Amino acid sequence: MDDSSVQWEALEQLQQWMRIPGSHLKELRRRLAASLGVFVISLVLGMVGAEPVFAFLKRTGPAAALELHAFSPWDSIQVYMQVAGVVALLVTLPFLGLQLWLFARPGLTKAERRTTLFYIPFGALLLAAGILFGYLVVFRIAFFFTAGVAGNMGLKVTYGIASYFSFMCNIVVIMGLLFEMPVAAMFLTKLGILKPAHMKKVRRGAYFLLVVLGVTVTPPDFISDFLLILPLLTLYEVSIGCSGLVYRRRMRGEARREIGRVE
């Protein structure tokens, strides 16, 4: 099967899955609205509790050795919103996963329900791991590289608190979402939208996009690029393996059901 036929088959499966009956569409909207409500509530609570998180980040990260400045009256509000946004993301994504699982549960067998329920804590764990990796590895490498360049140029850098936290949050959020690749691959495979064969066929294109993303996020030096790109490519291969595992189980289940109907 060539690349075009695999992509066309995946597109047809996606179009078929998206033909949701009206009653189910209302149910999906209700669950998405609930997830949006949880995001708003967790965002507000994150702003209320942002101060201890902000104090922790100032004590433990590169900010511990810096004198941060506010260059506008809105800088402090922006930092609170950014910290609260990361907290809201950590709370909302697992809840959204649960809502999607509850939406798909009526169409799943008992065994499939148990299996797919595993995606929720697994996805939450990967999200937290991605955020930690982004903060402890990628952000620090990027920050110290840029600080080193400024030092070599004889520049005295004045760090704005809003710019510092924007730089940090952009990296950690991107890494957290990218670490969700295995869960997304398993979920889409379970729905019949994605196949491991398709992921293998588009591997070169996916590698290219991940490399471009890695080079864009990190400073322009080989070590920083390598330290980010290697985990991203590894995550893609892990995603293929997870998709293959789900696909084989789904095929075995369909074969057993087909044999039962024949008998």
Q: Would you say how long the chain is, in residues?
A: 263
Residue spans of the domains in the chain: they are 20-179, 181-263
Alpha-carbon gap, residue 226 to 255, rounded angstroms: 43
What pTM did the predictor assign? Answer: 0.75
Which value, to the nearest 10 degrees, does the dihedral of the CA atoms of residues 9, 12, 18, 21 take?
Answer: -120
Structure tokens at 44: 């507000």
Place of tokens 């799943």: 108
Alpha-carbon gap, residue 189 to 26, rounded angstroms: 24
Per-residue confidence in pLDDT tens, the chain, 263 aa = 455 554 555 555 545 545 555 556 788 888 889 999 999 999 888 888 888 888 888 888 788 888 888 888 888 888 888 888 888 888 898 898 888 888 878 777 777 777 778 888 888 899 899 999 888 888 888 888 878 877 888 878 788 888 888 888 888 888 888 888 888 888 788 777 788 888 898 899 999 998 888 787 766 667 667 777 888 899 899 999 988 988 888 787 777 766 666 55
